[in-house]
Amino acid sequence: MVGTKKRKQLADDAPPAHIAPTSTNGTATMDLPSDDEDDAAIPDDEDAPVEEFPELDDRSDDDEEDPESDDIEHATDSNEENELDEEEYQTTDSEGDDSIHPFPRAKTIVSDITGVPKRVYPEIEPDYDSDSSTEDAPNRVGNVPMHWYDDLPHVGYSIDGKKVLRPARGDELDRFLSTVEDPSAWTSAFDKTAQTDRPLTAEELDIIRRLHANEVTDANYDPYEPTVEWFTGKGKEEIMPLSAAPEPKRRWVPSKWEKKKVMKIVRLIRAGKIIPHKPKASSHLPQFHNIWSSTSDSSAIALIPAPKPPLPTNAESYNPPEEYLPTQAEREAWEALDPEDREKDYLPQKYSSLRLVPAYEQFIKQRFNRQLDIYLAPRIQRKKLNIDPETLIPKLPSPNSLRPFPLYRSLRTTYGKGKARCMSVSPDGGWVVCGYEDGVVRLWETGVGREVKRWSFGGEKVEAVEWCPRGDVSFFVVGVGQNIHFIVPPFLPPSTFTLTKTLLAPPTLPPAPAVPSPVKWVSKYKDSTSTVTSESTAPTGYDVSKPILTLELPPGSSAARQISWHRKGDYFASVSNQPGGSNQGALWIHQLSRRHSQAPFKTMKGSVQLVLFHPTKPHFFVATQRYIRIYNLAEQKLLKTLMPGIRWISSMDVHPLGDHLIVGGYDKKLCWFDLELSDKPYKILRYHTRAIRSLHFHPTYPLFASSSDDGSIQIFHARVYNDLMTDPLIVPLKILRGHDVTEGLGVLGVRWVRGLPWLVSAGADGTVAVWCN
Amino acid sequence: MGRLRQKGKAGAAKAYVTRSAAVKKLQCSLADFRRLCILKGIYPREPRSRKKANKGSSAPTSFYYAKDIAYIAHEPVLKKLREHKAFAKKLSRALGRGEWTSAKALEENKPVYQLDHIIKERYPTFIDAVRDIDDALSMVFLFASLPSNARVSPSLVENCARLAAEWQLYIMHTKSLRKTFLSIKGVYYQAEVLDQVVTWLVPYQFTQSIPSDVDVRVMLTFLELYQTLLGFVLYKLYSNTGLVYPPPLDTRKDEGAAGVGAFQLQEASQMRPETSESGSKTVEVDGRKISSKSVRQAIKNIANADSTTAEIPADASVSGEQEDADEDFVPRPSKADNQVAQLPTLKSISILPTSLSTSLFSPYTFFISRETSRPIFEFLVRSFGGRIGWPASSGGGSPFEETDDSITHVIIDRPVVEKPNETPEERERRLRRKYVQPQWVVDCVNAGKILLEDLYAQGQTLPPHLSPFGEHEGAYDPVASAGDAMEVDDDSADESVEDAEETSPMAVPAVKAVNGDEAALRAAEIAAEAAGVDYATFNKELTRAKKRAGKEKAAADGEDRGEVDMNKMMMSNKQKKLYERMKHSQAKKATEKSKLEERKGQIGKEKKKRSREVDS
């Protein structure tokens, strides 16, 4: 700043005139050497920047030229100072650039020919400073793999960017000849960049020789130069000590600390606590004392002590009673077993005297096994259940106290041609109607088993037969193929027959429903009262061998598999197998009085297996393969879904009181549901060895029966209590056997006779039996 | 919302650690971990769910309680084991460098661990230690009989032999041996020490070699612990009985193979008052210590005294042929001994006061023939107060010679050999003594009385040797079923005859008696007596009635069976499985029993046939 101040003063002092830049610079040379240098260098070399540079100065001078007040002056002063600073920076920058700049500066000259200024670069003079190598190797590709040029005619480019052509190389013979002819051939090496052989220089050869001789490659290096003594030797000794610190006391006084240490050991040796060479043998033996003299702290963890090994039994004696000795077969079986699987780890043996007893070979092994048990086996404290297994069996009332229930088969009717698939007992219990696989439906008396009437439906399987539960009329429905036939049995009292006839074939049909149903009600009954009074046994000339009314299910749907009546006898539901497992049109509810059929559900989840009307409430049970859904038909909503846990439900029945439901499955299980309690079974029983086929609650007695493919019928006592606290009592009463199993099918249907503890069962062997008490 | 629970931070995953995790945590080798587990008595646990304990993996591993592992983590022995590892490295380095002096110095300062604190931890009271001494004794007795080799050092065998001898000395001194059983595996002894039943197994005296599939290291670790445990237990036992422990060993006698006799029990001149008798309450009465149990036992004996006398007539009814078979039950006054004549049944024997049976052999002097194992019979006879001598070939230190006149019994295990050139005095001596086989001694000990020597005389076929420890309840009893099997056979033979016969008038009350209680039976007996029927016929009648009742019952049962089977349907699955299991085990036991009974009957028949053939 001193320099600049001076310069400012000088500027102030100088007359306000246009000063040539050179002159100003010349005045400033003494103070501003940097400027000087810069300026000195530039005018030497170039003219153009010199011309430009003063222009800046001129402006600054112009600013300085109008001094109006001191303040302004000061301000301009400071301005100038700033400017100067800037200038300084610029100059230093340019200077730095100049020194670093690798490229030659271009000159702008006016071309002689064109008269247009052009830039001319100075000639390049290669020297050590330049980045190009000193060698004038023509090929300037650099250190690149030369095989890049293998397929090309040239081997690289010269400094001017011209291709360096591959020198001609002779064949092997030429090479050999050259080695023979050229005396310097053995001192030449292949130059990759030039792709030629080049003779090595004398220096290079010398380096090779030195490398070969394991010498230092530099010829000028002398490894055995004489040492130069800088600080030692005659006249060069240090006389004065480097440190003026006095010699510490510890250098010449014995250590007190060491003495303490030693004395400690000495004292211990004197006291006999350290024995320099004590005998080792005695110290190994543990010194026993009364360790149980003091009570112990209970810090130790509680461990279960190892159980004691079982005590030996008579069989282990050296002289056991003879019956303990194993037979040859037992001995072989024992030896064949793996030692770990053997029940006993020894074979009983008998020796006539103690002197003959040999050493027990397994002694050490067994002791070792015991130790393995002690430290490798987990220990568990188990409560040993010391009870009589019979006490585990539940105590139930004796079946004898729960009479009456069916005990024996009183009669059996056989119809040899097909399996009895379905069967129904009339509401008064006097008649049994059963349907066979070959399309025959037989009606017979329950008491005597005499067949009264037989209907045949053209060889199609009779899938369902069901009596109407009404007491004042008497007829039953038969599901065959796509039809459901209404049949009136013969030998009816005239009043009943009239009532039945007016019900099934009324003189005036009820008005057709607004929405026509796809199910057709076809009345086959022609008013025959006047015309036909023929051979038929019917009291009023009606042909009983024909169905009085037929329901035709929509085409495409298969046979009605199950028919279930509402207790009042006006409605009944039918379930039919639908092709492809769809539920469309599988389930119909038919109303007899209005002659109308409707499908209660538009869509149903799962394939419907069974349906059932609740005996007292307007509820409707629908069993799919796995679940049972309970719907309220009046409110038209789903009430509950029961989950029995059965894979495929085969049968279901509801208790006459309506609070309990039993469900049987093809997987042998029977589930008892308490509908008030839960949607899970109250009890699951598994007692049949094959699939359950049919279940039925007795309408009046506390009984239910189940039949199965194992050919047995099981009778249970099932008492249901009115109070909610008491669980239902289920007592197995009797297993009835008598049906044969044919083609894997046993008893296909069971039905109780109303008012009597009698059971009717239909078997796959074609027999229908009545079981009495 | 509650706090998020991270997996593996609580419950089984934290409570259990796998073995490899435990080893990692303790930073020791697996071998050291095993050693620690053996010494500290840590055993693996079975978690309720292996998957939960092993963080979802069901790989087969053994689990330990994390707390157990934490417990052994700061065990002094573990520290010593680590020190030993360092020592082993140092030593091997010194040896490798050939620095013999430093190696020697290292060897001298080898880290050795003490097990005293472990014994105290594992057995907080003395009774606990005595209760768990069975395995220790068996191991020590085994190693006392092993030959020494590179793995089993001679000092170890010697120490085991010393401990075994000290234990035997203690048992002999206190006369606490109760039962003995000669099995094919070895000799089982059962003693009652401080009211605790201690059973141990001693192998027969043969050279045993350790099989290759046995890990000697594990056995030696156990042995280390057992030696220390036995040392402390014996110290306490000896000092409780006022003896000096360890008993001084007479080396000269020991070199002469005197065995147990080489030790000399010394009364402690001044009884050091034991500070506290932990565990058993004992009171000193007339210089004798009486434990609470012995008092209870004495009371029980007095109470039983009446019942035993009452039982005599009931047992007197068995036939003569049976009497031979069940020696244990029948009082047979022996010529030599009349003090045990009042001991009628096995039951009464088992609850007899110990003072009666412990001095069983005190009136007798035994001499062991050279082929009989001396250690067994010396221990047995001396435990029951007898004197015993042996020939020089069985070891030195015999208190008397074979020619001693006081000898009453010679335990001999040789067939009878005619001695043609017998001097008269030898003959006279031979006639005066009783020559019995070794089993006699053991059977006497188990019976608690002196049995008839004739059955066990030299050259006789011995009666079967039965286990004094008994079998499980309801198992086949070779003694009891001897009569029954025969009876069944006889009955089946004359069944038809009896059925044809008219039922005798007094059968009716007998039948009633069968169904009724004891009092009814007594009444029927009196009635029969009044009617002038002798006891044998009454008994016959009674058995027949019993059988008939049994048959009727079986028929009724068959009917019941069906009902019961139906009731089984109403069992839950769990109960059904339990029931089936129990039934299975019962059936197994029953078949075992019936098989043995059947075989017994067969053997009996064959014997009969053979004897008949011999007769004819």
Burial class (CB within 10 angstroms; exposed 0-12, middle 13-18, buried 19+) of B499: exposed
Yes or no, beta carbons of A288 and B231 under 8 Å apart: yes
| DSSP per residue, B247-312 | PPB-HHHHHTT-GGGGB---B-SSPPPPS---SS-EEEETTEEEEHHHHHHHHHHHHHHHHHHHHH
Residue type, A268: L
Structural domains in chain B, CATH included, are 12-74 (no CATH), 116-262 (no CATH), 329-456 (3.40.50.10190), 481-615 (no CATH)
Q: Is the pLDDT of residue A411 over 70?
A: yes
Segment of A230-239, A287-296, B172-181 carrying the highest mean pLDDT: B172-181
Q: Give yes or no for B223 touching A (CB within 8 A).
A: no
Residue type, A285: L
Q: Which of A323, A370, A405 to mutate to test the interface with B (most CBs of B within 10 A)?
A: A323
Give the model's pLDDT for residue A418: 80
Q: Give yes or no for B592 touching A (CB within 8 A).
A: no
Give the model's pLDDT for residue A104: 60
User: The tokens of B549 are what?
Assistant: 């009742």
Supply the ipTM of this predicted assembly.
0.77
Give the model's pLDDT for residue B137: 95
Q: Which of B184, B326, B456, B460 to mutate to test the interface with A (most CBs of A within 10 A)?
A: B184
Cis omega before residue B203 (within 30°)?
A: no
| CA-based torsion, B282, B288, B293, B295: positive or negative | negative
Q: Residue A685 forms beta bridges with which residues?
A: A670
User: The tokens of B192 are what?
Assistant: 């009652």
Pairing between strand A703-708 and A692-697?
antiparallel
Residue A732 to residue B571: CA distance in whole angstroms: 12
Q: Give yes or no for B559 touching A (CB within 8 A).
A: no
Give the model's pLDDT for residue B133: 93
Q: Is the pLDDT of residue A31 over 60?
A: no
DSSP label at A414?
E
Yes or no, beta carbons of A317 and B569 under 8 Å apart: no
B positions 52-91 inside 8 Å of A (CB): 62-63, 67-68, 71
Locate the chain B residue with the closest alpha carbon to A688: B569
Helix (H) or strand (E) holding B182, with range, is strand B177-182
For chain A, domain boundaries? 2-92, 401-772
Yes or no, beta carbons of A353 and B413 under 8 Å apart: yes
- Location of structure tokens 């620690």: B36
Residue type, A361: E
By C-alpha distance, which of A682, A679, A658, A659 is closest to A670? A682
**What Å distances lie between residue A569 and A472, A473, A572, B483, CA to CA?**
10, 9, 7, 76
Yes or no, beta carbons of A364 and B564 under 8 Å apart: no
Burial B438-453 (b: 16+ CB within 10 A, else e): bbbbbbbbbbbbbbbb
Give the model's pLDDT for residue A650: 92
3-state secondary structure of A122: coil
Q: Sort out which chain A residues have CB atoms less than 8 A from B603's CB and list them.
A: 322-323
Q: Give yes or no for B134 touching A (CB within 8 A).
A: yes
Q: Sort out which chain A residues have CB atoms less than 8 A from B181's CB and list them.
A: 312, 316-317
The superfamily (CATH) of domain A401-772 is: YVTN repeat-like/Quinoprotein amine dehydrogenase (2.130.10.10)
Q: Sort out which chain B residues have CB atoms less than 8 A from A286's CB and list them.
A: 114-116, 227-228, 231
The percentage of residues in chain A with a pLDDT greater than 70, rounded to a whole number, is 79
Predicted confidence band at A300 (pLDDT cuts at 50, 70, 90)? low
Q: Sort out which chain B residues have CB atoms less than 8 A from A353's CB and list them.
A: 413, 437-438, 462
- Between CA B63 and CA B71, with CA B65 as vertex, the angle to 5 degrees is 130
Distance from CA of A319 to the nearest CA of B (A): 5
Locate the chain B residue with the closest alpha carbon to A299: B121
Phi, psi of A269 (to 5 degrees): -65, -40
Higher pLDDT pick, A66 / A588: A588
A611 neighbors A623 (Cβ within 8 angstroms): yes
CA end-to-end distance (rounded Å), chain B? 99
pLDDT tens by residue, A696-713: 999 989 999 999 998 899
Pairing between strand B387-389 and B365-368?
parallel
Residue B194 φ/ψ region, left for φ over 0, alpha for ψ in the -120 to 50 degree band, beta for the rest: left
Residue B148 to residue B160: CA distance in whole angstroms: 12
Distance from CA of B579 to the nearest CA of A (A): 6
pLDDT tens by residue, A485-494: 888 888 888 8
Yes or no, beta carbons of A393 and B45 under 8 Å apart: no
DSSP label at B457?
B
A656 neighbors A703 (Cβ within 8 angstroms): no
Higher pLDDT pick, A576 / B222: B222
Range in A54-68, A101-115, A163-177, A653-667 with the lowest mean pLDDT:
A54-68
Q: Give yes or no for B473 touching A (CB within 8 A).
A: no
Q: Residue A762 forms beta bridges with which residues?
A: A749, A768
Mean pLDDT by 10-residue block, N- to C-terminus, for chain B (616 residues)? 81 91 93 93 91 86 92 92 94 94 89 90 90 94 91 91 92 92 94 92 90 92 94 93 86 78 74 41 45 57 46 36 39 42 46 61 90 91 90 86 88 86 85 90 90 88 90 80 46 43 47 57 75 73 76 66 77 88 91 90 90 83
What sections of B435-506 are H helices per DSSP?
A: 438-447, 481-493, 495-500
Q: Give yes or no for B239 touching A (CB within 8 A).
A: yes
- Interface size A-B, in CB pairs within 8 Å, comes to 258
* Total Cβ atoms within 10 A of residue B595: 13
pLDDT tens by residue, A309-346: 999 999 999 999 988 999 999 999 999 999 888 888 89
- Location of structure tokens 């009669």: A411
Cis omega before residue B246 (within 30°)?
A: yes
Residue B504 to residue A135: CA distance in whole angstroms: 148
Please enumerate in sequence order all residues whose Cβ is within 8 A of that of A508, keeping only pairs 6 or more positions apart, or say none.
Answer: none
Locate the chain B residue with the closest alpha carbon to A373: B43
Distance from CA of A637 to the nearest CA of B (A): 36
A355 neighbors B372 (Cβ within 8 angstroms): yes
Q: Sort out which chain A residues have CB atoms less than 8 A from B583's CB and list them.
A: 389
- Location of structure tokens 């004549």: B341
Residue B353 to residue B184: CA distance in whole angstroms: 31
Yes or no, beta carbons of A323 and B600 under 8 Å apart: yes
Q: Residue B193 forms beta bridges with which residues?
A: B196
Q: Residue A464 forms beta bridges with which residues?
A: A479
Residue B170 to residue B230: CA distance in whole angstroms: 12
Residue A253 to residue A250: CA distance in whole angstroms: 5
Minimum-distance CB partner of A371 among B123, B222, B371: B222
SS (HEC) of B392-455:
HHHCCCCCCCCCCCCCCEEECCCCCCCCCCCCHHHHHHHHHCEEECHHHHHHHHHHCCCCCCHH
Residue A469 to residue A475: CA distance in whole angstroms: 9
Give the model's pLDDT for residue B66: 93
Yes or no, beta carbons of B579 and A389 under 8 Å apart: yes
By C-alpha distance, which of B248, B152, B137, B148 is closest to B202? B137
Yes or no, beta carbons of B135 and A371 under 8 Å apart: yes
DSSP label at B350?
H
Pairing between strand A628-632 and A596-598?
unpaired
Burial class (CB within 10 angstroms; exposed 0-12, middle 13-18, buried 19+) of B212: exposed
Residue B19 to residue B64: CA distance in whole angstroms: 7
CA end-to-end distance (rounded Å), chain A? 138
Minimum-distance CB partner of B211 among A280, A346, A365: A365
Range in A81-95, A216-230, A338-352, A703-717 with the lowest mean pLDDT:
A81-95
